Amino acid sequence: MPVISVIGAQWGDEGKGKIVDLLAEKAMMVIRFSGGDNAGHTIVNNQGKFVLHLVPSGIFYPHTTCIIGNGVALNLAALLREMDDLKSKGVNDFSRLYISDRTNLIMPYHLLQEQLEEKALGPKAIGTTGKGIGPAFTDKVARYGVRAGDLLNPHYFRQRLNQVMELKNRIIVKAYGADALSVDKVYDEFMRYGERLNSHIKDTLMMVDEALKKDEPIMLEGAQGTLLDPDFGTYPFCTSSSPMGIVGAGIGPIHMKRVYGIFKAYCTRVGNGPMPTDLKDSTGDKLREIAGEYGATTGRPRRCGWFDGVAARYSNRVNGFTGAIVTRLDILDTFPKLKICTAYKIDGKTIEYFPADISVLERCEPVYEELPGWMTPIGDIREYSRLPINARRYIRRVEELCGCRAKIISVGASREQTIFRGDIY
Nearest to 409 by CA among 292, 311, 329: 329
The reply to whether omega before 236 is within 30° of 0 (cis) is yes
Q: Is there binding between residue 116 and ligand GDP (CB under 6 A)?
A: no
Give dist(CA 210, CA 53) in Å, integer: 27
Min. distance of Cβ 213 from ligand GDP in angstroms?
Answer: 30
> Cβ of residue 29: shortest distance to ligand IMO, in angstroms?
19
210: Cβ contacts below 8 Å, ≥ 6 apart: none
Task: Look at residue 134 and give the partner it binds from Mg ion, ligand IMO, ligand GDP, none, a contact being a CB closer than 5 to 8 Å depending on partner kind.
Answer: ligand IMO
- The least CB distance from residue 227 to ligand IMO, in Å, is 10
Cβ-based nearer residue to Mg ion, 295 or 373:
295
Write out the binding residues for ligand GDP, residues 289-308 only, by CB under 6 A. Answer: 296
* 77 touches Mg ion (CB under 5 A): no
412 binds, among ligand GDP, ligand IMO, Mg ion, none (CB under 5 to 8 A by kind): ligand GDP
- Alpha-carbon distance 114 to 132, whole Å? 6
Applying CB under 5 A, among 207, 290, 296, 367 the residue interacting with Mg ion is 296
Helix (H, G, I), strand (E, B) or coil at 333: helix
**CA-closest candidate to residue 279, choices 201, 366, 210, 200:** 366
Stretch that binds ligand GDP, among 78-86, 87-95, 325-333, 380-388 (CB under 6 A): 325-333
DSSP letters spanning 141-167: HHT---BGGGGGSHHHHHHHHHHHHHH
Q: Active site includes 84? A: no
* Interface segment toward ligand GDP; rule CB under 6 A; list 38-46, 188-196, 198-206, 355-363: 38-46
Q: Given the rule CB under 6 A, which residues bind ligand IMO?
A: 8, 11-13, 35, 38-41, 126-129, 131, 133-134, 223-225, 228, 239-240, 270-271, 296
- The Cα 145–Cα 168 span in angstroms is 11
Strand partners, 341: 308, 368
**CB 4 to ligand IMO: min, Å:** 17
Q: Does 14 bind ligand GDP (CB under 6 A)?
A: yes
Task: Identify the residue among 8, 36, 40, 145 touching Mg ion (CB under 5 A).
Answer: 40
Asked if 265 and 326 count as a contact pair (C-beta separation under 8 A), the reply is yes
Judged by beta carbon, residue 57 or residue 342, the one nearer ligand IMO is: 57
Examine residue 13 and tell whether it contacts ligand GDP (CB under 6 A): yes
Is-catalytic flag, 41? yes
C-beta of 120 vs 375, nearer to ligand IMO: 120
Cβ at position 246, least distance to ligand GDP in Å? 18
Cβ-Cβ contacts under 8 Å for 174 (sequence gap 6 or more): none
Contact 255, 3 (CB under 8 A): yes
As a whole number of angstroms, the distance between CA 313 and CA 243 comes to 17
* Min dist. Cβ of residue 286 to ligand GDP (A): 14
Q: Is the dihedral of CA 228, 230, 233, 237 positive or negative?
A: positive
Dihedrals φ, ψ of 65, to 5°? -80, 130
Bridge partner residues of 98 (DSSP): 67
Where does this chain bind ligand GDP (CB under 6 A)? 8, 12-18, 40-42, 44, 296, 327-328, 330-331, 410-413
Where do contacts with Mg ion occur on this chain (CB under 5 A)? 13, 40, 296
Which residues participate in catalysis according to the annotation? 13, 41
